[in-house]
Amino acid sequence: MILVVGGAGYIGSHLVKELVKKEQVIVLDNLSTGHRYLVDERAVFVQGDLGNRADLDAIFEKYPIKAVMHFAANSLVGESVIKPLKYYQNNVAGTLTLLETMLKYNVKNFIFSSTAATYGIPNVEMITEDCPTNPINPDGRSKLMVEQILADFAAAYSLNYVVLRYFNAAGAHESAEIGENHNPETHLIPIVLQHLLGQREKISVFGTDYDTPDGTCIRDYIHVTDLSRAHIFALEALLDGKKKTAIYNLGNGLGYSVKEVIETCERVTGRKAVIEYTDRRPGDPARLVASSQKIYEELGWKAEYSLEDIIASAWKWHSRNVK
């Protein structure tokens, strides 16, 4: 059985929908940001907290867990600056309790959702996993701390782990039954689509004076379905014993500016956006684009979906869920 912590969240629920086809799955989620309806009905669902020993003991005592996938960390850069205690409490202390419980029950396989924010402001075109990690906000720092804990636990307790550093996750499941539903929403693609559906008056573009060709920030957008596939590749590598420890970037390898994303949304939906240009949002690096060559070479994974595919799938989901 595979324990998916945070399996009612955006990325976790997409992984669960695929993983239930291969494995028995139990989801633990406190529903602080996730939604019960996103969890595939083939999975066992437990409402509880990764930092609560009683919640964890109840699961590990009852079910034979062979691996844990951890999606339950908080991940909003801006919020992390204002509420660092929340980030260190949940992302670091909570994860430590989860890891401690795994060791107690001799569960040794762990997959951790990390972030491109661990790199800070990189000075390379394509970020590889060996680039320096100098996070500039508590979100990135808390994820990097967990990565460091994992390395120490691997050395001392033979914990096997894969760290997946996501770039910008977007898109929805092909069924359009599940998709991105944050409240409040802060991410670019859902905000643009909500605007194009008439749910927002306009879109704000945060900064036009970056050192990029059109002056707006460049990001690497990766389909949530591609992220799910990468988790399944990583799980198989751990369970087969092919990998003991690994860190991989998950991106498309293509950078799109904020303006290009908005234009692509307009093209895919056939609608025109009202745009307001505002000041920079604090903490935004100008460019974050991944090299995902390492996971391709070691596990054979590469992104299959384009920006158009991502936006088309998200549009289908948002259109169905228009209130």
Footprint on this chain of ligand UFG (rule: CB under 6 A):
75-77, 115-117, 139, 167-168, 186-188, 191, 203-206, 217, 219, 258, 281, 284, 288
CB of 288 to ligand UFG, least distance (A): 4
Give the closest residue to 234 by CA, choosing from 189, 176, 284, 294: 294
Dist CA 122 CA 314 (whole Å): 29
Q: Could you tell me the smallest distance in angstroms from the CB atom of residue 137 to ligand UFG?
A: 9
Minimum gap (Å) between residue 203 Cβ and ligand UFG:
6
- Tokens 């391709």, residue located: 296
Min dist. Cβ of residue 207 to ligand UFG (A): 7
Three-class HEC string of 63-89:
CCCCEEEECCCCCCHHHHHHCHHHHHH
Amino acid at 227: L
Structure tokens at 193: 């689509």
Query: Of 34 and 153, which has the nearer Cβ to ligand UFG?
Result: 34
Instruction: Decide whether 230 or 237 has the Cβ nearer to ligand UFG.
Output: 230
Which C-beta is closer to ligand UFG: that of 34 or that of 237? 34
Map residue 3 onto helix, strand or coil.
strand
Which parts of the chain are beta strand (E)?
Answer: 2-5, 25-29, 44-47, 67-70, 109-115, 160-166, 168-170, 203-206, 218-219, 221-223, 245-250, 256-257, 275-278, 287-288
Q: Which is nearer to ligand UFG, 50 or 288 (CB)?
A: 288
Structural tokens at position 89: 């409490």
Smallest separation (angstroms) from ligand UFG to the CB of 34: 16
Q: Which is nearer to ligand UFG, 77 or 230 (CB)?
A: 77
CB of 55 or CB of 284, closer to ligand UFG: 284
User: Cβ of residue 119: shortest distance to ligand UFG, in angstroms?
Assistant: 9
Closest residue to ligand UFG using C-beta atoms? 217
